[in-house]
């Protein structure tokens, strides 16, 4: 998220932030974007095929540059050269992470038109005549495309430096541009996770998440509310002939509805994570594997809640303020442990909302008790690490 860099003063760090804007290209600009998407996909597949053939012949790893293919494929000269160079950089990075950790990162694959993401990246270069990419009052200037009309939800600060952009087309046919800015700022002082300023959070199937102080975050069930509408659209699609005009219109409505639900979910996660990050010095969560949880409980609503995305939002929003997100092991018996006396039970039924400790007789709410244990274990884990660092 941020790190020291040459040229940054003491106590300062270089940070990057991204602004996402909606693009409204003209038909000619939209055609150029589509050609760029295709050229990026083409150059990726050609470089990957040549790399594999070179490896089989020489037993060495080598990726040709995009300039090699421009004579045999003149259409590559019609798009922004920076987009092709970034595809070479992405493929090189994909091989680097694959060689470093093959078990986690798979071997780079070929891109198909139906499944590949329609996007390209271009870097900004500043020359004596000016930068190659810059924003205007109501648009953004790009190489080859010129000034593309855009809608800004927020504006960058005057001292921010534009580094690169990523243009993408969604499945609903909308164009967006993610602009990456670089700037320096003072490193915030680390906030001490005192018990009274630390929050413990427990993922909950019923209300998204529960805090150790009893607060519950209950988002509206957007997917549940739209399920009847989705079912109707699916029935209509199943009765239509694929490829017909009516089928295309119904499929577009279906994609727009899913996009609307995803935007609502993301909006809730951003607002809830900002509220928590601004109100507490530290947050303790359990590192749950939501996929494994969904398989065990056989519930499709587990990944739909977006709790994994919520944790990542909490992480970077807390880090910006010098605060910590403390993760407890996923197999810690937080639900079966009594937060009053510390006794660990053998098991607690999934459907049981409350249970009584057989040792001290305390009556526990299942979710609140787990959140208290997550907070206690997270703080103990944090202070143990601090002692190890001080002793070292």
Q: What does the angle CA 218 – CA 223 – CA 226 come to, to the nearest 5 degrees?
A: 125
Q: How do residues 50-64 score in pLDDT, each as one tens digit?
A: 999 999 999 899 999
Sequential DSSP letters for 163-232: EEEEEEE-TTS-EEEEEEEEEEEEPPPPPP--GGGEEEEEEETTTEEEETTS-EE----HHHHTHHHHHH
221 vs 70, which has greater pLDDT? 70
Is-contact 327 333, C-beta < 8 A? no
Q: How far apart are CA 59 and CA 10, in angstroms?
A: 47
DSSP structural state of residue 36: H
Average pLDDT over residues 197-208: 88
pLDDT at 390 over 50: yes
Q: How do residues 66-87 score in pLDDT, each as one tens digit?
A: 999 999 999 999 999 999 999 9
Helix axis angle, 245-279 to 307-320, nearest 10°:
40
pLDDT of residue 317: 94
Residues ≥6 apart with Cβ < 8 Å to 149: 23, 24, 25, 26, 138, 139
User: Domain-by-domain residue ranges, the chain?
Assistant: 2-186, 195-391
Residue 350, classified by CB atoms within 10 Å of its CB into exposed (0-12), middle (13-18) or buried (19+), is exposed
Q: How confident is the model at residue 220 (pLDDT cuts 50, 70, 90)?
A: confident
Q: Where are the alpha helices (DSSP H) in the chain?
A: 27-58, 81-100, 222-225, 227-239, 245-279, 290-297, 301-304, 307-320, 366-391
Is-contact 163 82, C-beta < 8 A? no
Percent of the chain with pLDDT over 90: 56
pLDDT of residue 300: 59
Q: How confident is the model at residue 4 (pLDDT cuts 50, 70, 90)?
A: very low
C-alpha pair distances (Å), 274 with each of 265, 279, 315, 318: 14, 8, 11, 9
Average pLDDT over residues 127-134: 92
| pTM listed for this prediction | 0.85
Radius of gyration, CA atoms only, the chain: 26
pLDDT of residue 9: 65
pLDDT of residue 8: 61
Structure tokens given for 26: 């003209």
Weakest mean pLDDT among 21-30, 84-93, 94-103, 227-236? 227-236
pLDDT of residue 193: 86
Q: How do residues 8-32 score in pLDDT, each as one tens digit?
A: 667 788 999 999 999 999 999 999 9
Task: Map 304-315 to HEC letters.
Answer: HCCHHHHHHHHH
Q: How do residues 139-195 score in pLDDT, each as one tens digit?
A: 999 999 999 999 998 999 999 999 999 999 999 999 999 999 999 988 888 888 888
Architecture of the structural domain at 195-391:
2-Layer Sandwich (3.30)
Residues ≥6 apart with Cβ < 8 Å to 7: none
Average pLDDT over residues 221-249: 84
pLDDT of residue 78: 94
* Of residues 327, 320, 330, 246, the one with CA closest to residue 288: 330
pLDDT at 2 over 50: no
Structure tokens given for 164: 């690169």
**372 CB-side CA count, 13 A:** 15
Residue 178, classified by CB atoms within 10 Å of its CB into exposed (0-12), middle (13-18) or buried (19+), is middle
pLDDT of residue 1: 46
Neighbouring CB atoms inside 10 A of 82's CB total 21
Q: How far apart are CA 66 and CA 43, in angstroms?
A: 7
Average pLDDT over residues 342-355: 83
pLDDT of residue 299: 62
- At residue 116, the 3 state secondary structure works out as coil
Q: How far apart are CA 123 and CA 274, in angstroms?
A: 30
Q: How far apart are CA 167 and CA 303, in angstroms?
A: 27
Q: How do residues 267-320 score in pLDDT, each as one tens digit?
A: 999 999 999 999 999 999 998 887 777 777 666 566 777 888 999 999 999 998
229 vs 111, which has greater pLDDT? 111
- In whole numbers, what is the pLDDT of the chain averaged over residues? 89
């Amino acid at each position: 998220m941020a790190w020291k860099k040459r040229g940054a003063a003491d106590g300062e760090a270089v940070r990057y932030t991204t602004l996402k804007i909606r693009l409204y290209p003209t038909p000619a600009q939209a055609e150029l974007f589509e050609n760029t998407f295709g050229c990026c996909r083409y150059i990726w597949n050609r470089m990957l095929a040549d790399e594999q053939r070179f490896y089989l012949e020489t037993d060495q790893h080598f990726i040709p540059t995009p300039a090699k293919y421009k004579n045999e494929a003149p259409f590559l000269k019609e798009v922004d050269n920076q987009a092709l160079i970034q595809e070479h950089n992405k493929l090189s990075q994909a091989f680097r992470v694959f060689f470093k950790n093959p078990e986690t990162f798979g071997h780079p694959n070929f891109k198909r038109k139906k499944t590949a993401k329609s996007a390209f990246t271009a870097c900004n270069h500043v020359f004596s005549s000016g930068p190659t990419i810059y924003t205007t009052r109501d648009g953004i200037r790009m190489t080859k495309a010129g000034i593309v009309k855009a809608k800004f939800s927020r504006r960058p600060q005057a001292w921010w430096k534009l580094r690169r952009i990523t243009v993408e087309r969604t499945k609903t046919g909308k164009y967006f541009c993610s602009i990456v800015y670089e700037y320096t700022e003072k490193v915030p002082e680390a906030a001490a996770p005192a018990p009274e300023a630390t929050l413990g959070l427990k993922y909950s199937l019923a209300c998204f998440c529960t805090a150790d102080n009893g607060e519950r975050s209950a988002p509206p069930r957007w997917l549940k509310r739209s399920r009847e509408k989705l079912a109707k659209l699916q029935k209509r699609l199943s009765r239509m002939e694929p490829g017909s005009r009516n089928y295309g219109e119904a499929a577009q409505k279906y994609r727009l509805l899913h996009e609307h639900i995803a935007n609502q979910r993301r909006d809730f996660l951003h607002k809830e994570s900002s509220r928590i990050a601004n109100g507490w010095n530290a947050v303790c969560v359990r590192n749950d594997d939501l996929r494994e949880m969904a398989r065990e409980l056989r519930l499709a609503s587990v990944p739909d809640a977006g709790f994994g995305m919520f944790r990542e939002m909490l992480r970077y929003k807390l880090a910006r303020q010098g605060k910590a997100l403390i993760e407890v092991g996923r197999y810690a018996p937080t639900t079966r442990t009594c937060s009053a006396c510390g006794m660990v039970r053998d098991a607690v039924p999934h459907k049981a909302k409350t249970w009584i400790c057989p040792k001290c007789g305390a009556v526990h709410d299942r979710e609140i008790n787990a959140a208290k244990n997550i907070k206690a274990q997270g703080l103990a884990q944090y202070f143990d690490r601090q002692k190890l660092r001080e002793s070292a």
